[in-house]
Amino acid sequence: MASYKTTCCYCGVGCGIVVHQDRQGKIQVEGDKDHPVNRGMLCSKGMNLHYTVMDTSDRLYYPEMRYNRHLPRQRVSWDQALDRTAAVFTQIIQQYGPDAVAFYASGQCLTEEYYVVNKLIKGFIGSNNIDTNSRLCMSSAVAAYKLALGEDSVPGAYDDLELADCIFVAGANPAWCHPILWRRVEAAKAANPDLKIIVSDPRVTQSCATADLHLQIHPGTDIVLHHAIGRILIEQGHIDPLFIRDHTDGFQQYREIVMERSIASAAEICDIPEAAICEAASLIGNASGFMTLWTMGLNQSVVGVRKNLSLINLHLITGQIGKPGAGPFSLTGQPNAMGGREVGGLSNLLPAHRVLDNPAHRKEVQEFWGGVPLSEKPGLTATEMFTALNDGKLKAIWIMCTNPLVSLPDARLAEAALKKAKFVVVQEISNRPETLQYADVILPAAAWTEKEGTMTNAERRISYLQKLTTPPGEALPDAEIICRFARKMGFHGFDYENAAAIYAEHCRLTAGTNIDVSGLNYTTLQEKRTVQWPYPQGATGDGTPRLFTDQTFYTQTGKAVIHSFPDGNNSTPPDPELPLILTTGRIRDQWHTMSKTGKVSKLKQHIPAPLLEIHPDDAEERDIKADDIVEIFNANGNVRVKAQLSTNIKKGVVFLPMHWGKTLNSDLNRANNLTHTLVDPISKQPDLKYSAVQVRRF
Ligand code: SF4
């Protein structure tokens, strides 16, 4: 039996895994006791990862292609598939320009994969049309970090959770969605009962079981709550005047705006008792180490950036940042969303967090890559790509490692868009995703343990993943597929000897930036296992656990910015026809669109089918009993699932899990039939947590 160390490929926690492989190639997994993140623990998804590797019944083995939509796809060679794809892309680019093609990738991709696809489209095709499903996940947090701190950078580390004495979890359920991190918080609370935990969420979730205070907030009112807490902190003198004076800009305007609304008014809007808001402010104000954790409840909003900023402001007025046990901590959903941003893998970014609208940045990157001049025009974001396909402005899309027909808002619009596309390439490991039926070309990709590369977790921790098993059939690592395609297009600069060479190029390109990892390479990562960026040339140790320790921020002035803005929500509100607010989210044992977890029978036992969580009063008004089939509907579409009556959800709010897609030609399990394409104007992240709907017994 041989044993190898790697990293879990599901969520942004980034747990270390030991893979044991017997002589027949069969593998087992266990948590890595020496790993700084999980210390031997694994959640249900991680524990069952070996089943996803061993069960190859759904794997794609060979490239497939069809010459038109009326013909079935046929097995072809890699050369045939990539020659035709290169010919079609070339023809479309010649006829309509480079912005007529796009790549839609994933926070599951390894850093090397992101790097080469970003280089291909921006540096050689000449368009910025690359976006990823990270747009649906954390782009509001990214924008807020940049606006407040001058850089997309999580200030602290997981170890800070054990040093804090107040943790405010806003719009997140880490007990289910970041389980191992939450196990560490639970252990910290057990060891230190003085650690106070506040959770704000319209639902009573598993995370509330550990909380001292649950604020069962009305959806969309987070800014009102955060401003009210800010007002109490100011009024009660729980702020840090010296930190505000020396290290921030914008406090006076903030003070004025938070004073405009009384705490009584905030309590009414948020539908939270005034005393509970005061208690939250008191716990925060009296903490010597204050941390916030958040995810989709704040990010997936039409005012997602403002929600993030309003939370970060609580740190800036109290000076709770850049020191042990303190800081605003965005919990990344996917395993490598951060690595993707490091290489510039979003439609508005360039490598190493450079930006498109800076001519010096564009010049640096173009000279480094040696390709075409970089366009300053931002590319299409996730939702914009599908709207552009639907409108005929975008002709071809290449979908890598993601299943947009389940995860995108207004999924029926996304489906219509793929039907209209001139050419669709799907690069995938599994035959399960719904997108495959629209693919003109299918490219089989290698999965976890079948390729090497790196990922960065939510605390800026870079891990090396080694190749342990052989991909089935002719499946190839994603980076190799992209490089082979680039060479077919006639582009130079894609002749990498191996993944290590791609990583080395990425590291060189970060030199001198705020996220400098020019001191890293595969050898160092293999030795150290994990390192937290930055890690410049000459760095030693395990990297940088905490940023801003000298209270100098990455803004031009070196000061953090306290932003001020109105506290309203801009979602489409409920009305008499659509009186309920639908919120969507994850369940404990499934991951995203279930293309991996959906084939593990153990993981289906927890919640085997989608359910509508509805308050008993809302159910009674509609004559709905437990387990009745109900129809949830609005102008976008409908869903039919069983009702689960629960006082855990706020009255007036209903919840659907986001994982299920089409089954047996029915799409009535799919929550995103009901969501809409409104996005935050800055982050372009969709408003997935707030859709007006009606429910009736079916
Ligand atoms: Fe994997 Fe996340 Fe579970 Fe850790 S918490 S084992 S990274 S899914």
What is the whole-number distance in angstroms between the Cα of residue 152 and the centre of ligand 1?
Answer: 23
- Enumerate residues 6+ apart whose C-beta is below 8 A from 603: 44, 45, 48, 589, 590, 597
* 117, 162: one domain: no
- Last residue in a domain, options 285, 316, 334: 334
Q: Of the given ranges (242-251, 478-487, 665-674), which has the lowest mean pLDDT? A: 665-674
Give the domain CATH number at 257. 3.40.228.10
14 ligand 1 Cβ < 6 A:
yes
Give the domain CATH number at 8. 2.20.25.90
Distance CA 263, CA 229 (A): 9
* 146, 251: one domain: yes
Q: What's the per-residue H, E or C state across 45-82? A: HHHCHHHHHHCCCCECCCCEECCCCCCCCEECCHHHHH
Q: Say what the pLDDT of residue 477 is.
A: 98
46 ligand 1 Cβ < 6 A:
yes
* 238, 319: one domain: yes
What is the whole-number distance in angstroms between the Cα of residue 155 and the centre of ligand 1?
Answer: 21
Q: What is the helix (H) or strand (E) element at residue 105, kind and residue range?
A: strand 101-105
Q: Say what the pLDDT of residue 491 is.
A: 97
List the beta bridge partners of residue 166: 196, 290
Q: How far is CA 545 from the centre of its chain?
A: 21
541 domain residue, yes or no: no
- Cα dihedral across residues 526, 530, 533, 535: positive or negative: negative
The pLDDT-based confidence of 663 (bands split at 50, 70, 90) is: confident
Distance CA 227, CA 254 (A): 9
* 514, 646: one domain: no
List the beta bridge partners of residue 180: none
The alpha carbon torsion through 179, 205, 199, 655 (nearest 10 deg) reads: 110
- Enumerate residues 6+ apart whose C-beta is below 8 A from 437: none
What is the whole-number distance in angstroms between the Cα of residue 545 and the centre of ligand 1?
Answer: 20
Give the domain CATH number at 631. 2.40.40.20
pLDDT for residue 665 is more than 80: no
∠ CA 505-511-513, nearest 5°, is 125
| Model ipTM value | 1.00
Average confidence (pLDDT) over 81-93: 98
228-278 per-position pLDDT tens digit: 999 999 999 999 999 999 999 999 999 999 999 999 999 999 999 999 999
Nearest CA to ligand 1 atom 4: 15
Q: Say what the pLDDT of residue 440 is.
A: 97
Q: Where are the alpha helices (DSSP H) in 370-469?
A: 382-391, 404-407, 411-420
The pLDDT-based confidence of 168 (bands split at 50, 70, 90) is: very high
Average confidence (pLDDT) over 114-129: 98
Q: How far is CA 539 from the centre of its chain?
A: 29
482 domain residue, yes or no: yes
574 domain residue, yes or no: no
* 100, 144: one domain: no
Average confidence (pLDDT) over 653-671: 90
Do residues 180 and 586 make contact, with C-beta atoms less than 8 angstroms apart? Answer: no
The DSSP secondary-structure symbol of 120 reads I
Average confidence (pLDDT) over 637-659: 97
For all residues of the chain together, what is the average pLDDT? 96
* 127, 159: one domain: no
* 236, 252: one domain: yes
170-224 per-position pLDDT tens digit: 999 999 999 999 999 999 999 999 999 999 999 999 999 999 999 999 999 999 9
pLDDT for residue 89 is more than 80: yes
45 ligand 1 Cβ < 6 A:
yes
What is the whole-number distance in angstroms between the Cα of residue 160 and the centre of ligand 1?
Answer: 19
Name the residue of 17, 41, 43 whose CB sits within 8 Å of the most ligand 1 atoms, as the mutation to test its pocket: 43
Q: Say what the pLDDT of residue 534 is.
A: 96
The pLDDT-based confidence of 594 (bands split at 50, 70, 90) is: confident
* 242, 358: one domain: no
* 75, 145: one domain: no
* 115, 223: one domain: no
List the beta bridge partners of residue 292: 168, 328
What is the whole-number distance in angstroms between the Cα of residue 180 and the centre of ligand 1?
Answer: 6
Q: Say what the pLDDT of residue 595 is.
A: 84
Which atom of ligand 1 lies closest to the CA of 335? Answer: 7
Q: Of the given ranges (15-24, 29-38, 231-240, 595-604), which has the lowest mean pLDDT? A: 595-604
pTM for this prediction: 0.97
180 ligand 1 Cβ < 6 A:
yes
How many domains does the chain divide into? 4
Name the residue of 6, 32, 45, 184 whose CB sits within 8 Å of the most ligand 1 atoms, as the mutation to test its pocket: 45
Name the residue of 30, 33, 42 whose CB sits within 8 Å of the most ligand 1 atoms, as the mutation to test its pocket: 42
571 domain residue, yes or no: no
Distance CA 142, CA 683 (A): 8
How many CA atoms does the CB half-sphere of 36 hold within 13 Å? 19
Q: How far is CA 22 from the centre of its chain?
A: 35
Name the residue of 8, 161, 182, 206 whose CB sits within 8 Å of the most ligand 1 atoms, as the mutation to test its pocket: 8
What is the whole-number distance in angstroms between the Cα of residue 49 and the centre of ligand 1?
Answer: 10
Residue with tokens 């993943």: 465
10 ligand 1 Cβ < 6 A:
yes
Residue 566: cis peptide before it, omega within 30 degrees of 0: no
* 292, 387: one domain: no
Nearest CA to ligand 1 atom 6: 46
Q: Classify residue 241 as left (phi > 0), alpha (psi -120 to 50) or beta.
A: alpha
Could you tell me the residue range of the domain that residue 85 belongs to? 64-137+335-532
